[in-house]
Every structure is written in structure tokens, then in C-alpha cells.
Amino acid sequence: KVAYHKDGGSTHCIRFANEKDSEIENHEGVWFIGPLVGYNGFRTPELREKLMTHDFGSESVGIKDSRYKVNFDRTRDDSNDGSHNMVEGFDSGYDQ
């Protein structure tokens, strides 16, 4: 499970859920299961490009080309320090 919430008025946060997140805070009182949108799943390439090139200041989009490998590697490492690759032999920097 992942949890989504707003940090303040305009910053959004998506993270892995923890035990505290079992208390659902939305108005429906149930977990929302939405469709997963991939990099190529945007309605138009122009919409994707607009999102990927927008200046969010100190924040960024996690699937942006320049950030994807770092963010992806973090999800595969359960040690949070880079010492334990949960998928041995997998190279997220290799593209066939």
C-alpha cells in the first residue's frame, strides 16, 4: 500500500504506507485503488512533457529521466543506505 497526502497547500506526497495509515482519513472511509499511470500512459506526449519540464522549485517529479534511476534504486533497497539490493543482479541503469 502507498499513502498519498498533501503537505501544506500545494505539495503532494506519495510514500509507502505504515501502520498509522490504517486509519483512513478520506471522506469515503475506504482505501482508494486507482489505475497506475506509466511514463507512456499519459493522455498525450505533450501533457507528459509539460509535467516533466515544469519548474517545481526545490521539488521534483520522481519519474523524470534525471531522477528515475535514483528513486527506483531506493525502492529496491530495504536498508535505506544502498547496502541491500532486494533484486540481486538487476541493473536499473541498463536499457535494452
Contact predicate 47/35, CB 8 Å: no
pTM of structure:
0.50
Span 85-90, average pLDDT = 70
Q: What is the distance in angstroms between the CA of the first residue and the CA of the last residue of the chain?
A: 30
Residue 50: per-residue pLDDT = 93
The answer to whether residues 34 and 28 touch, using CB atoms and an 8 Å cutoff, is no
15 in the Ramachandran plot: left (φ > 0), alpha (ψ -120 to 50) or beta? beta
50 to each of 25, 42, 45, 65, how far by Cα in Å?
A: 31, 11, 9, 14
**If you average pLDDT over residues 46-64, what whole number do you get?**
87
* pLDDT score at 30: 85
- Domain hosting 68: range is 39-86
Structural domain includes residue 59? yes
**Domains held by the chain: number:** 1
Task: Find the mean pLDDT for residues 76-96.
Answer: 68
